[in-house]
């Protein structure tokens, strides 16, 4: 038996980032009666262009920081849910400078759950499968909701910390909350620092793509639209206090994904360079989403990775004005790290 919840007026934190903005598009396309207030600090990873065409009666934008308790006191009353995507999200950045990750991912989540509890607003916390650490390549196991936390990087340890805060606020204060831990997303509006967009935009610019380590690290890819539908399902049908893993059986190693991208873009499959590995690079992630599928009846629609990848490549080809302004600085940062 699930708690049916019909939201009317939600706050989406981080709604100008990759996954948050895709979620805002998803709500506009599928739930025209739901008002969305996007709260976003517009860090280097946020881009108002992602949601600009949607702004109007249904979608409102507030420029602000989730660590700002006073702003939350003004903003949260009157809303019936917070869907929390805002985060520092890039592992490599967390290794170079962990502090903003502590601030946004831990303190920011703390401020939000305090506001949610004060104004009795339902809270959905968007998290990652990286909190579970990694699996061996030859291990038949996948992550489940019962897998112990074992985060490897500053990024994943701050996400794990925020998950634990949200759980404690349920147990201690009765915060009406749910958590989702999702695998790696791909799709439009993803920053060019991330693996798939970096490779695509390198190829468009005539730069040879770079592959970390031996390229055999496995990620469990899911299209961001499927992540959105899963979050919506959990928000509206999930049981309070529960965690749901989100995944679409998309396990692929990085070498295979890079070869897929090269093939889709008409390049030879060996037209890339090997570079040194990321320190502490997790070997394999894999999600068992049985609970979400059986309990809430969710299923992904983008089950053909190659066709989702083709559409994603096409999006970057069609939208150079979106990524070109940040491309050179992103590559310069990688170059300084030898990657």
Ligand X SMILES: NC(=O)c1ccc[n+]([C@@H]2O[C@H](COP(=O)([O-])OP(=O)(O)OC[C@H]3O[C@@H](n4cnc5c(N)ncnc54)[C@H](O)[C@@H]3O)[C@@H](O)[C@H]2O)c1
Q: Does residue 108 touch ligand X according to CB under 6 A?
A: yes
Q: Does residue 156 touch ligand X according to CB under 6 A?
A: no
Residues contacting ligand X: total by CB under 6 A: 30
Residue range at the interface with ligand X (CB under 6 A); choices 8-16, 27-35, 270-278, 308-316: 8-16
Catalytic positions: 129-130, 155
Residue 81 or 182 having the CB closest to ligand X: 182
Nearest residue to 127 (alpha-carbon basis) of 87, 172, 82, 175 = 87
Residue 249 or 267 having the CB closest to ligand X: 249
Q: Which of 7, 11, 18, 111 binds ligand X (CB under 6 A)?
A: 18
Q: Pseudo-torsion of CA 34, 229, 197, 276, nearest 10°?
A: 130
- Cβ-proximal residue to ligand X, closest one: 17
Residue 174 or 301 having the CB closest to ligand X: 301
Question: Per residue, what are the HEC states of the chain?
Answer: CCCCCCCCEEEEECCCCHHHHHHHHHHHHHCCCCEEEEEECCCCCCCHHHCHHHECCCEEEEECCCCCHHHHHHHCCCCCEEEECCCCCCHHHHHHCCHHHHHHHHHHHHHHHHHHHHCCCEEEEEEEHHHHCCCCCCCCCCECCCCCCCCCCHHHHHHHHHHHHHHHHHHHHCCCEEEEEECCEECCCCCCCCHHHHHHHHHHCCCCCEEECCCCCEEECEEHHHHHHHHHHHHHHCCCCCEEEECCCCEEEHHHHHHHHHHHCCCCCCCCEEECCCCCCCCECCECCHHHHHHHCCCCCCCCHHHHHHHHHHHHHHCHHHHHHHHHHHHHHHHHCCC
Smallest gap, in angstroms, from Cβ of residue 21 to ligand X?
A: 7
Residue 51 or 313 having the CB closest to ligand X: 51
Smallest gap, in angstroms, from Cβ of residue 273 to ligand X?
A: 24
Residue 267 or 278 having the CB closest to ligand X: 278
Between CA 171 and CA 151 the distance in angstroms is 23
Smallest gap, in angstroms, from Cβ of residue 41 to ligand X?
A: 3
Nearest residue to 127 (alpha-carbon basis) of 178, 57, 93, 59 = 178
Q: Which residues contact 45 (CB under 8 A, 6 or more apart)?
A: 17, 18, 88, 89, 90, 191
Q: Does residue 159 touch ligand X according to CB under 6 A?
A: yes
Between CA 328 and CA 331 the distance in angstroms is 5
Q: Which of 20, 209, 238, 308 binds ligand X (CB under 6 A)?
A: 20
Residue 256 or 267 having the CB closest to ligand X: 256
Smallest gap, in angstroms, from Cβ of residue 190 to ligand X?
A: 7
Residues between 162 and 221 with contacts to ligand X, criterion CB under 6 A: 182, 184-185, 191
Residues between 34 and 93 with contacts to ligand X, criterion CB under 6 A: 40-43, 45-46, 65-67, 85-89
Q: Does residue 245 touch ligand X according to CB under 6 A?
A: no
Q: Does residue 115 touch ligand X according to CB under 6 A?
A: no
Q: Which of 10, 11, 12, 19 binds ligand X (CB under 6 A)?
A: 19
Residue range at the interface with ligand X (CB under 6 A); choices 9-17, 252-260, 312-320, 327-335: 9-17
Q: Does residue 16 touch ligand X according to CB under 6 A?
A: yes
Residues between 126 and 145 with contacts to ligand X, criterion CB under 6 A: 126, 128
Residue 108 or 209 having the CB closest to ligand X: 108
Smallest gap, in angstroms, from Cβ of residue 48 to ligand X?
A: 9
Query: Interface with ligand X by CB under 6 A: which residues?
Result: 13-14, 16-20, 40-43, 45-46, 65-67, 85-89, 104, 108, 126, 128, 159, 182, 184-185, 191
């Amino acid at each position: 038996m699930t708690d049916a919840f019909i939201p009317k007026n939600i706050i989406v934190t981080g709604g100008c980032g990759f996954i948050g903005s895709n979620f805002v598009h998803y709500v506009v396309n599928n739930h025209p009666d739901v008002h969305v207030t996007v709260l976003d600090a517009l860090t280097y990873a946020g881009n108002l262009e992602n949601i600009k065409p949607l702004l109007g009666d249904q979608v409102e934008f507030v420029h602000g920081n989730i660590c700002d308790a006073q702003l939350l006191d003004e903003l949260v009353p009157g809303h019936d849910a917070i869907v929390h995507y805002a985060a520092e999200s890039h592992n490599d950045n967390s290794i170079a400078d962990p502090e903003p990750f502590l601030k946004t991912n831990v303190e920011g989540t703390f401020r939000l759950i305090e506001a949610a509890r004060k104004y009795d607003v339902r809270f959905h916390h968007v998290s990652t499968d990286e909190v579970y650490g990694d699996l061996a390549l030859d291990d038949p196991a996948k992550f489940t909701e019962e897998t112990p936390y074992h985060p490897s990087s500053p990024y994943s340890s701050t996400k794990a910390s925020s998950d634990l805060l949200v759980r404690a606020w349920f147990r201690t204060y009765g915060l009406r909350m749910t958590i989702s831990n999702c695998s790696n997303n791909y799709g439009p509006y993803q920053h060019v620092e991330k693996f798939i967009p970096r490779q695509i935009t390198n190829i468009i610019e005539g730069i040879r793509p770079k592959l970390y380590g031996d390229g055999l690290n496995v990620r469990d890819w899911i299209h961001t639209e499927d992540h959105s539908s899963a979050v919506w399902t959990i928000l509206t049908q999930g049981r309070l206090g529960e965690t749901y893993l989100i995944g679409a059986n998309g396990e692929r190693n990085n070498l295979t994904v890079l070869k897929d991208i090269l093939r889709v873009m008409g390049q030879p499959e060996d037209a890339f360079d090997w570079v040194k590995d990321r320190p502490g690079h997790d070997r394999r992630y894999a999600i068992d989403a049985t609970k979400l599928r059986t309990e809430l009846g969710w299923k992904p629609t983008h089950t053909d990775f190659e066709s989702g990848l083709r559409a994603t490549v096409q999006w970057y080809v069609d939208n150079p004005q979106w990524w070109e302004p940040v491309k050179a600085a992103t590559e310069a940062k990688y170059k300084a790290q030898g990657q």
